[in-house]
Structure 1
Amino acid sequence: MSTNPSFPRFLDVTRILALAAIAIAAPAWSQQAVPQSTAPVPLVAAPAASPVVHPDGSVDFRLEMPNAKAVTISIEGYAAPFPMVKDATGAWTYTAAHLDPEYYSYTFKVDGTDVVDPHNQTVKTSYFRVENVFLVPGGKPWELRDVPHGVVHRHRYHSALVNTDSEYYVYTPPGFDAASKQKYPVLYLLHGYSDDASAWTAMAKANLILDNLIAAGKAKPMIVVMPTGYGSMEMITRGWAAWQDQALVRLNFSRFGEALYKEVMPRVTQEYPLAPGRDQHAIAGLSMGGAESLLVGLNHPDDFAYVAGFSAGGLGDRNFELIFPGITETSGAGLSKRLKLLWISCGSEDGLFAPNQKLIGWLKERNVDPKVVVTPGRHVWPVWRDNLSNLLPLLFQAK
């Protein structure tokens, strides 16, 4: 099944309340003239706005919680929350002095409980939490521009291997015509832990990045497949503690690879005009998906010529010889020549920086020379958005 998602429609609460106030105030029968006033009388107070993004990059946040004792705000990319101040009206406020152009997620914490901003209808969901999102504009490649746009399709199916209902999203580039004979290269793009298959379009704006790069002639038109990245849903039901169970982690990685090859890839190949051959196939992902992309890509060099891991997570305590059995001191140089691109990146302040450096060192000892990218930042979407924006122009190009 394929659908083209659209923006949700929201009720105009202010208008509804205003109309209700008019209805209540108007008498059913009028027996005498009512004195008229020339002064405008607001029926409903103007709703407070939050966040308010100013041209200089400063951002105002506001939360009406007059009975709260302590309120903080956590903004993506910053290690510690910021305390909010209660004003004379009982509202809690905070102003960020300057934020770089970017999409940011944020949450309030009210007396120890996470709370979303009721004034902001733009949210990011995951299996564990809901966060608000806002944009500080600044001409970045992930912003909406007046260029031809591709389409994001949503497909649902039942995964017999994972024993759950699953889904994958597919981006088709501007001008895509399923009836034509044109075939497209394909990128399999994998999300991280706690997220779902919608994450790369909902939060990273991968579709807008591609629209803009293709329009500028910086990236090849391609099809992007974004599948659900779990090989075992026990990884979700057990929460973050699941990562302490190495047997479960191994099962999650291996079963995901099996589901990708046996369930997702056959469907996509049947549904979309994919160009054949390893030179037309790429795989990339972030965090858990970064580890999965490296595991799948490096263990299947006959299928993928482009392999990329962003902030790969879950490989730090693994025996690399066991999980990458085909990479040895004698075979590594040959693999390095076959790969048109092996990309490994991580944020400079990411807790996974050291494990990724360990993997890079192990690969280099075996004559595999990856492209190493260090991006300023933590384990956050701004790092991965930047990674994707810089990776896409390198795909499906002559080496």
Structure 2
Amino acid sequence: MAPQAESVTFLVGDKEYLCVENENGVWEGTFPYRTGHHYVQVKINGMEILSPLFPIGYGYSRPYNYIELPQDDFYQLKNVPHGSVRNEYFYSKVTEEWERCIVYTPAEYEENCDKIFPVLYLQHGHGENEISWTTAGKVNFILDNLIAEKKAVPFVVVMCNGMVQRVNQKKKRIVDFKLLEQELVQECIPFVESKFRIGKKKEMRAMAGLSMGSLQTSIVGFHHPEIFSALGIFSGFVTDIIQGTELDMVERPLSDNEHLKIFENAHKFGELFPIFFRSMGDEDPFWEYFVRDDKILEQKGIPQIRKIYKGAHDWNVWRQSLRDFAQMIFREQ
């Protein structure tokens, strides 16, 4: 309902759809049906609005509407034991500000107070933040269901804001995605390890991320193989396609991809990361970069687990990626 509107449209992905006002004063529109999660931007008289009539998540660097259409039920709320999702705050010397991380603990965490749990450090993509994996990604429901079905071992998940901000020399606040490495390794990991009963050795830590978060996972994981035993690269990249490009807010040269030096010893890489998981949607606009990374990994003889899903660069692929990756990690525990 928009009584004073002269026009109503909505964006799904990069396409805009026209609405028509019916006899009851309701503006209606249709778009090609696809299951799962979709960000939706409503525009009234050409102005973007945040509608209270749709669920609200976080995308495109701000609160954003989305809709859910029927899909597989692996991420739905079911009658199983549920874990907890909590907000935690730590002071960062990297950003000189208070930062928030979201921590999921499985149901067993509250019941078995003597147990030390494995931990997955899980990153979102560009324009999202630390809440995205629980709002759009449904990570807590996915893991609750997998654990209840005994398809995954219980583990903790820590989600940080990968859109790390700093003030540059021009006094402008910008995002420097590469600062996550320092903040995560030096600050977030020690913080959560001091507060939660989680593993403090390589075999009990893993890292994964989607899109920009997948590149952050590659950079951090390859630089610190002593910290993580498994890496998940969801819809993403081992080669740095962000630094020095139009996607980067920092003025700097293109990346020299120094982190890829770890590929020089394929056998050692396989020992360091028994699980190296990569995934992509078959309609992903970044497909060419995924294939380019394929060739690098093939030339270097790097062992990997590779999954292709039906879909684009969206949460419907990332949820499936997490579902499958979660069933592989920490089995030795």
Return the TM-score normalized by structure 1: 0.73
Distance 2:287 2:51 in 1: 32
Q: Does 1:364 align with 2:298?
A: yes
Tell me: CA distance 1:139–1:355, structure 2 relative to 1, closer, same or farther (3 Å): closer
Tell me: CA distance 1:351–1:104, structure 2 relative to 1, closer, same or farther (3 Å): closer
Distance 1:281 1:333 in 2: 21
Q: Does 1:149 align with 2:82?
A: yes
Q: Does 1:69 align with 2:2?
A: no
CA displacement at 1:96 relative to structure 2 = 5.2
Which consecutive aligned stretches of 4+ in structure 1 deviate over 6 angstroms post-superposition?
none
Distance 2:172 2:138 in 1: 29
Choose which of 88, 109, 131 in structure 1 pairs with 2:23.
Answer: 88
Q: Does 1:114 align with 2:40?
A: no
Secondary structure at the aligned position of 2:312 is classed as coil
Secondary structure at the aligned position of 1:68 is classed as coil
> Does the aligned pair in 2 maintain the 1:298–1:307 contact within 8 Å?
no
CA displacement at 1:275 relative to structure 2 = 2.5
CA displacement at 1:133 relative to structure 2 = 2.9
> Does the aligned pair in 1 maintain the 2:83–2:144 contact within 8 Å?
yes
Specify the alignment match of 1:7 in structure 2.
none
Specify the alignment match of 1:165 in structure 2.
98
Specify the alignment match of 2:65 in structure 1.
132
Specify the alignment match of 2:187 in structure 1.
263
Distance 2:56 2:302 in 1: 41
Give the superposed CA RMSD.
Answer: 2.6
- Where do 1:140-219 residues align within 5 Å? 140-177=73-110, 180-219=113-152
Q: Point out where structure 2 has 5 or more consecutive residues left out of the alignment.
A: 243-253
> Does the aligned pair in 2 maintain the 1:178–1:273 contact within 8 Å?
no
CA displacement at 1:218 relative to structure 2 = 0.6
Secondary structure at the aligned position of 1:152 is classed as strand
- Relative contact order higher in (CA < 8 Å, ≥ 6 apart): 2
CA displacement at 1:265 relative to structure 2 = 0.6
Choose which of 260, 268, 284 in structure 2 pairs with 1:324.
Answer: 260
Distance 2:86 2:111 in 1: 13
Specify the alignment match of 1:32 in structure 2.
none
Tell me: CA distance 1:126–1:80, structure 2 relative to 1, closer, same or farther (3 Å): closer
Q: Does 1:290 align with 2:214?
A: yes
> Does the aligned pair in 2 maintain the 1:287–1:312 contact within 8 Å?
yes
Secondary structure at the aligned position of 1:168 is classed as strand
> Does the aligned pair in 2 maintain the 1:142–1:208 contact within 8 Å?
yes
Letter in 2 for 1:65: A
Q: Does 1:349 align with 2:274?
A: no
CA displacement at 1:380 relative to structure 2 = 1.3
| Number of equivalenced pairs | 319
Distance 1:230 1:134 in 2: 24
Q: Does 1:310 align with 2:243?
A: no
Partner deviation per Cα, 1:188-230 (whole Å, 9 max, x = no partner): 0011122111111111110010001100111110011111213
Q: Which has the higher strand share?
A: 2
Q: Point out where structure 1 has 5 or more consecutive residues left out of the alignment.
A: 1-63, 243-247
Distance 2:281 2:213 in 1: 15
Secondary structure at the aligned position of 1:273 is classed as coil
Distance 2:44 2:194 in 1: 50
Distance 2:32 2:297 in 1: 43
Distance 1:201 1:320 in 2: 34
Letter in 1 for 2:261: P
> Does the aligned pair in 2 maintain the 1:321–1:327 contact within 8 Å?
no
CA displacement at 1:177 relative to structure 2 = 3.0
Distance 1:292 1:164 in 2: 21
> Does the aligned pair in 1 maintain the 2:90–2:191 contact within 8 Å?
no
Distance 2:202 2:320 in 1: 25
Letter in 1 for 2:27: W
Secondary structure at the aligned position of 2:28 is classed as strand
Secondary structure at the aligned position of 2:89 is classed as strand
Distance 2:56 2:72 in 1: 22
Letter in 1 for 2:127: S
Q: Which shifted more, 163-172 or 207-216?
A: 163-172
Letter in 1 for 2:11: S
Tell me: CA distance 1:219–1:129, structure 2 relative to 1, closer, same or farther (3 Å): same
